[in-house]
């Protein structure tokens, strides 16, 4: 009971060791996908696993960076595919500070067939 109370009081006000934490959810990975001319692509699929766990999928419909999961840490294995382009794979490690994940920004280039 005491441990539970301590945890709630430490996190209840959003402060940890004098650091004021926010309540926002930060993306673990922000991915941008370009073609070989450096132009941003949209409507691509990202298949990913965190620490070799369950396979997950996200469809990125805009050309702006696409958020891949939120407030998750670990090794992200990513495969990006789009019709008419060769798929590309990559891996990135996401860590965290006392409040949030440290978002990793990844840019990948897809080659057209």
pLDDT bracket for residue 47 (50, 70, 90): very high
- Has residue 52 been placed in a domain? yes
- Has residue 8 been placed in a domain? no
> Which of 30, 26, 60 has its CA nearest to residue 43?
60
Task: Give residue 16's pLDDT.
Answer: 59
In this structure, what CATH number is given to the domain that contains residue 102? 2.60.40.1120
- Has residue 12 been placed in a domain? no
Write out the residue range of the structural domain in which residue 95 sits: 24-109
- Has residue 61 been placed in a domain? yes
pLDDT in tens, 63-110: 889 999 999 999 999 999 999 999 999 999 999 999 999 999 999 999
- Has residue 71 been placed in a domain? yes
Is there a contact between 111 and 85 (Cβ–Cβ < 8 Å)?
A: yes
Task: Give residue 15's pLDDT.
Answer: 54
- Has residue 48 been placed in a domain? yes
- Has residue 15 been placed in a domain? no
Domain count for the chain, please give it.
1
């Amino acid at each position: 009971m005491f441990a539970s109370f301590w945890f709630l009081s430490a996190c209840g006000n959003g402060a940890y060791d004098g650091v004021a934490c926010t309540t926002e959810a930060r993306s673990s990975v922000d991915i941008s996908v370009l073609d070989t001319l450096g132009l941003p692509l949209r409507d691509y699929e990202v298949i990913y696993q965190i620490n070799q766990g369950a396979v997950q999928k996200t469809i990125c419909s805009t050309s702006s960076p696409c958020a891949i999961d939120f407030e998750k840490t670990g090794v992200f294995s990513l495969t990006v595919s789009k019709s008419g382009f060769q798929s590309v794979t990559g891996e990135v490690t996401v860590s965290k500070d006392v409040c949030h994940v440290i978002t990793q920004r990844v840019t990948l280039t897809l080659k057209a067939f």
